[in-house]
Amino acid sequence: MTKRMTAAESKPFKLALLELRARLRGDVSALANEALRTSAAANSSGSSSMPIHMADLGSDAFEQEFTLSLMASEEDTLGAVERALERIRLRTFGACEECGGVITKKRLAAIPFADLCIRCAEASEGGGSSHMPRRPR
């Protein structure tokens, strides 16, 4: 059985996650506003007599798609942060969800919402095939 992280040990991670959640919520809101602003500008029937160039339309579409892609990525990270906060509440934070082993504090300091230990993360990303277990000495 894995040693559980105490409330005192998880407190700095909880604070970091809460700060990250607040920043991500702001980022997602800003990106949504930008996407809506770009969409509204593209759909407005401006009274300008300037002709619309096809390259401008392509650039606008690319910018909007890029913004929406960033927003989706931020929302995915926000979901991971929410799940990490739930693991803190359930006192399972710091335990690998794959193998049950310990996620090192060094890894959690870098990625506070990490839910896999290094070994399981590498395996899930396809890097596990090159990782051979050590033979006992």
Residue the block writes with tokens 């809460």:
18
- The verdict on 106 and 76 lying in the same domain is no
pTM for the whole structure: 0.67
Is 131 part of a structural domain of the chain? yes
Q: Which of these, 100, 104, 129, lies nearest to 118 by C-alpha position? A: 104
pLDDT in the model for residue 56: 61
Q: Are residues 65 and 122 in the same domain?
A: no
Supply the range of the domain harboring residue 133.
Answer: 94-137
Mean pLDDT value of segment 61-87: 85
Quickly list DSSP for 74-107: HHHHHHHHHHHHHHHHHT-TTB-TTT--BPPHHH
Domains identified in the chain, total number = 2
Lowest-pLDDT range of 41-45, 67-71, 118-122? 41-45
Domain annotation covers residue 1: no
